[in-house]
């Protein structure tokens, strides 16, 4: 039997300054989609409202990195993005893909996880055939119960408007997301691991200091705060538990590293490639790993 979650939908790096995020990620060799303003619903069945946020995305064949910024402080904030950045900027959002938002919402609720219900999202996009409206459904876990970040599931209703082929080729050779790393406060570790067991419906495995859960293309790696310096040496913890780093899979490690270093950003060699500090990547550590 299939599962209502297929893998990663997207991850979100949230800052007030979208211009800086754009310049940084372009300098790393990512192609970005055009800036797009959000229309959001505050609760199930509520009308869509022009929110305070806009995004640009590094798109892959099956998922994407969202660069989410506050572009109008006077506009409504139905999805509480200002609250995110007031807590801390950086990698804040993890969304898994589903083809059945209603079914996922029901299953998560039955597992004892509080949710927002199914919310609607729209934003205008340009396509090669002209302007269009991207539509999606999203279910958010109650952020008061997810100490590590803002977690949810999302359903594409107009996938073709998101993952447009003209944006899928990146000068740095990026092919997709390989993993997301979570640091959990030691006292929260068991609860965080248990939450992803419920969300993904898989048993955890151990890989070195990390607990790993995999569903489709989504690989979640969780380490305790006491073990974090082994995995993320020199990195600053913005909170006791947090979404810490992404792994980006590339077709040529040397080419990707050249892009990053020629932009003036320091890198650190890792076993499978190299690492860029969250200090230099707008609050999200970036592991670059060679495709297998």
pLDDT for residue 42: 67
Tokens of residue 263, six digits: 């932009």
Same domain, 163 and 233: no
Q: Over 80: is that where the pLDDT of 1 sits?
A: no
pLDDT at 83: 83
- pLDDT tens string 186-205: 999 999 999 999 999 999 99
Q: Are residues 17 and 161 in the same domain?
A: yes
Please tell me which residue, 262 or 49, carries the higher pLDDT value.
Answer: 262
pLDDT tops 90 at residue 75: no
Same domain? 18 vs 163: yes
Query: Is it the case that residue 127 has pLDDT exceeding 80?
Result: yes
Tens-digit pLDDT profile for residues 203-224 = 999 999 999 999 999 999 999 9
Beta partners for residue 67, in sequence order: 13, 56
Q: Note the pLDDT tens digit of each residue in 92-115.
A: 999 999 999 999 999 999 999 999
Residues 206 and 151 in one domain: no
Report the C-alpha gap between 238 and 196 in whole angstroms: 21
What pLDDT does residue 80 have? 75
Q: Are residues 36 and 158 in the same domain?
A: yes
CA distance 291 to 288: 10
199 and 54: one domain?
no
CB 189 within 8 A of CB 197: no
The domain tally of the chain equals 2
**Which CATH number does the domain housing residue 79 bear?**
3.10.180.10
Do 20 and 156 belong to one domain?
Answer: yes
pLDDT of residue 57: 95
Whether residues 147 and 230 fall in one domain: no
Q: Please tell me the predicted confidence (pLDDT) of residue 38.
A: 73
Domain end residue (candidates: 167, 183, 215): 167
| pLDDT confidence of residue 77 | 77
Q: Same domain, yes or no, for 88 and 194?
A: no
Average pLDDT value over all residues in the chain = 93
Full residue range of the structural domain in which residue 191 is found: 174-290
Chosen domain end from 167, 193, 228:
167
235-291 pLDDT per residue, tens: 999 999 999 999 999 999 999 999 999 999 999 999 999 999 999 999 999 999 998
Please count the CA atoms within 13 angstroms of the CA of 14 that sit on its side-chain side: 24
Per-residue pLDDT, 242? 98
Whether 147 and 180 map to the same domain: the answer is no
Q: Residue 46: is its pLDDT beyond 60? A: yes
Do residues 212 and 127 both lie within one domain? Answer: no
* Domain end call among 167, 188, 206: 167
Bridge partners, residue 207, by sequence: 210
Domain shared by 162 and 17, yes or no: yes
pLDDT of residue 255: 94
């Amino acid at each position: 039997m299939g599962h209502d979650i297929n893998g990663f939908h997207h991850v979100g790096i949230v800052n007030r300054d979208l211009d800086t995020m754009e310049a940084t990620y372009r300098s790393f060799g990512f192609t970005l989609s055009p800036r797009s303003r959000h229309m959001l619903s505050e609760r199930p069945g509520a009308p869509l409202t022009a929110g305070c946020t806009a995004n640009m995305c590094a798109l892959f064949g099956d998922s994407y990195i969202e660069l989410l910024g506050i572009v109008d402080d006077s506009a409504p904030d139905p999805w509480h993005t200002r609250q995110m950045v007031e807590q801390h900027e950086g990698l804040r959002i993890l969304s898994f893909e589903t083809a059945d938002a209603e079914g996922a919402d029901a299953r998560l609720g039955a597992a004892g996880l509080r949710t927002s219900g199914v919310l609607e999202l729209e934003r205008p996009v340009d396509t090669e055939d002209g302007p269009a409206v991207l539509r999606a459904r999203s279910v958010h876990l109650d952020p008061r119960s997810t100490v590590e970040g803002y977690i949810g599931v999302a359903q594409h209703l107009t996938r073709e408007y998101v993952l447009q082929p003209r944006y899928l080729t990146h000068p740095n050779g990026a092919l997709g997301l390989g993993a997301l790393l979570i640091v959990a406060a030691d006292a929260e570790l068991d609860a965080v691991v248990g939450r992803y067991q419920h969300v993904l419906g898989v048993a955890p495995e151990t890989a070195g200091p990390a607990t790993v859960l995999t569903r489709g293309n989504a690989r979640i790696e969780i380490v305790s705060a006491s073990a974090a310096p082994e995995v993320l040496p020199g990195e600053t913890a913005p909170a006791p538990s947090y979404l810490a780093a992404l792994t980006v899979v590339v077709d040529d490690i040397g080419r990707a590293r050249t892009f990053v270093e020629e932009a003036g950003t320091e890198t650190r060699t890792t076993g499978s490639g190299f690492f860029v500090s969250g200090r230099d990547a707008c609050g999200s550590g970036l592991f670059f790993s060679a495709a297998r």
